[in-house]
Structure 1
Amino acid sequence: MGLIHQTWKLSTPQGSFIAQRLHPIFDPTVTEDGQTISQWLRQQGFPTPQFCRARDGSLHLSWAEGLWRVMECLPGFCHQTPPDWGYLEQAGAAIGRLHQLLARFEYRFRFRIPHFHDTVYIWRQLQRHSPTAEVQAEWDFLINTVPTLFLPSGIPTQIIHADLKFNNFLFDEQGQFVGLLDLDTFMHHNLYIELGDALRSWGKRGETLQAEAILAGLRGYAQTGNLRALQPELILQGIQLITLELAMRFLQDWFEDCYWNWDPERYPSRKAHNLARCRQQIRLYQALKAVAPQLLESIRGL
């Protein structure tokens, strides 16, 4: 499974492990970064996986024309969608605690995905492509709409996780949070981008939006006191911006045809799958915009 890496669960006499073949865009330092942050978070009592070392002490193995790594398999269960809103409150509270911990952690990253969550850069790169009739409408919409959503300059930054989709959270059988996965995207950015990315994915149900999912996550986040320092208008703007940033990334790969994994059982090509993904994100943004006034009022009331 996985949109980027190829990932397997291994059951062995020594226990369960997760093996990954890294996407070529990543180099070994991404795992070194993840291991350092994971060790620090675990020392603070926040559960994240640890990577295993090879016999020579390295965190990677080059094999079968790829870069491989293995990590421990934490106990708990992943869910593609939350069984009930309590799971999202748990996830929101976990993010609040994570942000409090990472605000105290200083680290200089050795690896960063080039221009990840750099919305202005992605928008400018998209402008360099000449759209065909097949994608003209999507290209026009994104080029004209995204600049209206850029966040103000000068917003404080800190280390964030940057990929808090719901299936990166582990829960026990009672629905309690027990672990956070995916250590490859930690970076310095603002909390509106972090929350926007999380809440976009949590509220998405196909091409529709469940506002209650967003509010459940924010209720959990508010339990840690973090919500008081944030502006409700910018939280909503961050969700809208990150939704169209993802649409731009999918459309970018429609032109370049090299990045996202795709489903050959559902689509004839990567380009076809990426265009479908792009259109889905645009429709999600439109659904979000339709309920924005009511959602903003609810966020203010938390």
Structure 2
Amino acid sequence: MLDLTWLDPLVQHFQLGDPDPPEAIRVGLIHQTWKLNTSEGSFIAQRLHPRLDPAVTEDGQAVGQWLRQQGFPVPQFRRARDGSLHLSWAEGLWRVMECLPGSSHSTPPDGSYLEEAGAAVGRLHRLLAQWQYRFRFQIPHFHDTAHLWQQLRQRDPAPEVRAEWQFLIETVPHLLLPSGIPTQIIHGDLKFNNFLFDEQGRFVGLVDLDTFMYHNLYVELGDALRSWGKRGNTFQPKAILAGLRGYAQTGNLHTLQPELIIQGIQLITLELGIRFLQDWFEDCYWNWDPQRYPSRKAHNLARCQQQICLYQDLTQMAPQLLEPMRALVAAARELAFG
């Protein structure tokens, strides 16, 4: 039976009105998340993961406020009567944000959704490149692949994960991006179900405000295209190219190198494999599905194995993907420079 003892205190603290029974949202991998329909409107309630400092909500509120001022749609966290952004309840911190209109999709219904998402990301990057912000909290070593690799290297792998451990330890160092690539504020977690679309498939909002950070665009696009292009254990080249076509519409693509875009996808695919395998050892971070797996360890191992399969598939198709990527970048450069 679900524990809903938090509901009444949350509703009172944030003055949400009379709530209908909450709906659990299970697509996220970290927070406990619920949708609340109340007499005051529709809201998203989250129990903050204990590894995240509450300052992450303050950061999300600041970035979100600035983006909304520029006309870019992201949710707003709700403040309580006392001005706070959190409720402390049952050894956890809860927060509430407005529920934006639109629907999310675990996979793109068709290529036009990917072009919409790509164009939204291009617009986001152009806006964030104009802004500076001092973050109060950053997820430790998020997208710091070299550090994550060093941590995994220090593990003594059990026989059931030795093959995955050895593959990651041997492969990842060759994928690290060159030093000196320019950085800017990025979103940090552009998986496809973080995008909201209307009934006509137009982009109407971007959610998940916990991962904004300074990093390079190859890491950002690598994570996005990894999410947008995967189907099971394989990648779909048409999906990756559709996302890049949308991104090119905003004038950003001409500054990027196609080879490093592919390398970014490969790198982030295996970085996620490292993170899943690390939680196989620690057994405390990622949410897991007890309907499909007997334990968090089993689910994390399956996730790690999937990332390795995806990397291998992308590596095989990279030569055929590189030529159309070069054509997209060349067209973008001709449009930018004449």
Q: Secondary structure at the match of 1:71?
A: strand
Equivalent in 270, 274, 285 of residue 259 of structure 1: 285
User: What does residue 173 of structure 2 align with?
Assistant: 147
Q: Does 1:15 align with 2:41?
A: yes
| Secondary structure, aligned partner of 1:291 | helix
The aligned amino acid for 2:262 is L
Match of 1:107 in 2: 133
2:216 is aligned with 1:186: no
The ranges of structure 1 where at least 4 consecutive aligned residues each deviate by more than 3 angstroms after the TM superposition are: none
| Residue matched to 2:246 | 220
Aligned with residue 209 of structure 1, among 235, 242, 248: 235
1:49-68, aligned counterparts within 5 Å? Answer: 49-68=75-94
SS in 1 for 2:221: helix
Query: SS of the residue aligned with 1:8?
Result: strand
Aligned twin of 1:36: 62
Q: CA deviation at 1:129?
A: 0.4
Which entry has the higher C-alpha Rg, 1 or 2? Answer: 2
Identity %: 79
Cα distance in 1, alignment partners of residues 278 and 324 from structure 2: 34
Name the counterpart of 2:312. 286
**Counterpart residue type for residue 46 of structure 2:** Q
Instruction: Give a deviation string over 1:97-116, Cα, whole Å, max 9, x none.
Output: 00000000100100000000
RMSD value, Cα:
0.5
CA distance in 2, matches of 1:241, 1:189: 14
Distance apart, 1:225 and its partner CA: 1.0
For the residues of structure 1 that align with 2:287 and 2:247, how far apart are their CA atoms? 32
In structure 2, distance between residues paired with 1:172 and 1:135? 43
Q: Which residue of 1 aligns with 2:198?
A: 172
Amino acid aligned to 1:29: A
**Deviation of 1:52 (Å):** 0.4
Take 1:252 and 1:81, find their aligned partners in 2: how far apart are those partners?
26
Bigger RCO (CA 8 Å, 6+ sep): 1
Q: Check if 1:136 corresponds to 2:182.
A: no
Equivalent position amino acid for 1:150 in 2: L
Counterpart AA for 1:43 = Q
Alpha-carbon distance in structure 1 between the residues aligned to 2:324 and 2:229: 15
Contiguous gaps of at least 5 residues in structure 1:
none
TM-score normalized by the length of structure 1: 0.99
Identify the match of residue 163 of structure 1 among 166, 189, 195.
Answer: 189
Tell me which amino acid in the other structure corresponds to 2:258.
P
In the alignment, the residues of structure 1 paired with residue 243 and residue 226 of structure 2 have an alpha-carbon distance, to the nearest angstrom, of 11
- Among 85, 89, 93, the alignment partner of 2:119 is 93
Give the TM-score taking structure 2 as reference length: 0.89
Q: SS in structure 2 opposite 1:301?
A: helix
Aligned length: 302
For residues 291 and 107 of structure 2, what CA distance do their matches in structure 1 show? 22
**CA shift digits 1:113-157 (9 cap, x unpaired):** 000000000000001100111111111100000001000000000
Instruction: Tell me the alpha carbon deviations over residues 160-179 of structure 1, each in whole angstroms, 9 at most, x when there is no partner.
Output: 00000000001111100000
What residue identity is the alignment partner of 2:225?
L
CA distance in 1, matches of 2:316, 2:183: 30
How far apart in 2 are the matches of 1:293 and 1:229?
Answer: 21
Aligned mate of 1:80, from 97, 106, 121: 106
**CA distance, structure 2, for counterparts of residue 219 and residue 20 of structure 1:** 34
- The answer for unaligned runs of 5 or more in structure 2 is 1-25, 329-338
